[in-house]
Structures are given as C-alpha cells and as structure tokens.
Chains A and B, each alone.
Chain A
Amino acid sequence: MELMGIIKGRRAVRKFADKEIPRENLVKILEAAIWAPSGSNTQSWEFILVTEKENIEKIKLISPGLFGNPKALVIVCINTERAKKGGREGIEMAKMDIAMASQNMMLMAHSLSIGSCPIVSFNKVALKELLDIPDSIDPKLILIFGYPEKWPRAPGRRPLKEVVHIEKFGEHIEE
C-alpha cells in the first residue's frame, strides 16, 4: 500500500474481529513508534503493551472511552524525567513527540490491515494504580488495536483551501 493510501485509509476502529494479532506485528507497530522524531532527541516516551484479555478487561473498567473488543492496547506515556531535558518546553515537546509516535503506530498497524483508535478517556489515577506506573511516568493515550470487523466510513475533512495559508495567514491555497 502506498503511503497516501495508508494515511487516508486509517480509521478510528472500535469493533474488532475475534482474531489475535501476531506478536511480530505488534513488535513492528512498536518499532514504528520509536522511530518517530522527538524534540532534542529526548525520546521521552514509554509504551506499555497489554494483550492479556483479563488485563484488557480491567483497563476497560476504568476507561469510559474504551469500548469494543480490542486485542491489544498500547499505553503511550511521557517519561517526565527525560522530558525535563527539553527545558521549560520539555513536556509540551514530549506531548508532540508521543503524538507522532502514536501516528506512526496507527499507520504501521493499518499497513498490516490492523485497525486502531486513540483513546484519551481513561482514568489516569486508577490506571497508574492498576499497572504500577511510577510517579514520573505520565500515561497520556491508550491506542487500541485489532483486526476490524469492518472499516468505518471516513468522517469529513476541512478542505485544504480552508486550512492551508500560503505565505501569510488568510491567503488560501487554490485547489
């Protein structure tokens, strides 16, 4: 699949088939994450992979936004100690870095015909307690993965001519 096809084809998938994701594919997805850019190359990220059904069910209990039946979760965290190396803007940069790492994971997943969805609606305090996450590690996002039961239709996009400005703000691109 060519890159634009992967980018445009990715969807937020929540309903998955009852089919396990091979370990090697999960490793590929995680490898895609660590090759994302990061501010000052701090790589202020940590990723917690969860595949045991029992553990996924426990995390669902404290995550109102996590419904459906994913086969794997990746909890994307900021390592706040490492992020300090980025100075005052370290945490802000780390947020952007984990966003780019997350997109890498979702695109790699889609290239392997695996669906994904980023979830922000989870109870951080309860999750840290449940997974023994230390104070210095800040879970920001849960990515869910599985083989889609069906690919959802694409939501609309704000057009290029609305969101792109040429040379200065307000001068729009001609499509």
Chain B
Amino acid sequence: MKNSENILKNKHFQLLSFLLTSARGCVDEPQIYGPLRLLDAASRVIELMEEEKKITPELLTLKEKINRCIDVLMYDEDEFVKMLDDISKDLGRIIKDNNK
C-alpha cells in the first residue's frame, strides 16, 4: 500500500470501514438494522471471495439471495425474517455438502 488513496480502493479496507461505522450506527439505529448491516457485510465478504477467486457457485447464489433479502426489508419485515431462515438453511447445506 503506497498511499492513502490506494487504501480507500482496497475492498478489505472498505469492509473494515463499513463494519466500524456500522458498529457505531447500531447503537442508535432501529434493532432490525443490525441484521441488515450484517447481511450487507456478508454480501461484501462474498464479493471479496469472488475477487480473490475463492468463490463457489453456491456462494454466488447465496449472495443473490442476500441482496434480495436486503431489498425485502424495506417492504416486508416478516418476509425478511423468512428469507434469513432460508439463507441460514442454504448455508447449512453448503457446510454439510462440503464436509462429505
């Protein structure tokens, strides 16, 4: 990292910045924003894995679901929770299948 301009474009730094400001934000923001920020961070982690060529098709599908889930929160909180459960189930399946 040669200068500060470079670090601003670094995806890890961007994630770090997001996590730190989210931590402060979550103190005052609505409770439901906690899961929202975590989902956003999860999506960013998958993007990082994609850039680092450490991705699988299942994770790309998971990222699409995560992003849809974020959109749904604005309209339907119950559906948001259902989608979170669905994402959790997918994650469980990914872990199980990779353990074979």
- Name the B residues within 8 Å of A57 (CB-CB): 8
A123 touches B40 (CB 8 A): no
CA distance A144 to B33 in the complex (A): 19
Known: A153-B75, A155-B74, A155-B75. A121 touches B40 (CB 8 A): no
Q: Please tell me if the beta carbons of A58 and B21 are within 8 angstroms of each other in the complex.
A: no
The number of chain A residues with a CB under 8 A from chain B is 18
Min Cβ gap A8→B in Å is 16
- Please pick, from A123, A153, A155, the residue contacting B25 in the complex, using a CB distance under 8 A: A123
* Residue B88, interface by CB 8 Å: no
CB distance from A118 to the nearest CB of B (A): 13
Measured as residues with beta carbon below 8 angstroms from the partner, the interface class of chain B is 10 to 19
Cβ contacts under 8 Å, A121 to chain B: 25, 29, 33
Is the Cβ of B74 less than 8 Å from the Cβ of A64?
no
A126 — which chain B residues lie within 8 A by C-beta?
A: 21
Within the complex, which residue of A12, A62, A64, A152 is in contact with B40, where a contact is CB–CB below 8 Å? Answer: A64
Q: Which residues of A lie under 8 Å from residue B17 when comparing CB positions?
A: 61-62
Assuming the contacts A61-B8, A64-B37, A121-B29, asked whether A12 and B74 have C-beta atoms less than 8 A apart, the reply is: yes
B70: nearest residue on chain A (CB-CB)? A67
Interface check A122, CB cutoff 8 A: yes
| Contact between chains at A64 and B75 (CB < 8 Å) | no
User: Are the C-beta atoms of B8 and A65 separated by less than 8 Å?
Assistant: no
Contact residues in B for A69 (Cβ distance below 8 Å) = none
| Residues of B participating in the A interface, judged by any CB pair closer than 8 Å | 8, 14, 17-18, 21-22, 24-25, 29, 33, 37, 40, 74-75
Instruction: List 18 additional contacts besides A64-B21, A153-B75; criterion CB under 8 Å.
Output: A12-B74, A61-B14, A61-B21, A63-B21, A64-B18, A64-B25, A64-B37, A64-B40, A65-B33, A67-B40, A121-B25, A121-B29, A121-B33, A122-B21, A123-B25, A126-B21, A155-B74, A155-B75
List 8 tightest A-B contacts by C-beta distance, closest first.
A123-B21, A64-B22, A61-B17, A62-B21, A155-B75, A121-B25, A64-B21, A64-B25
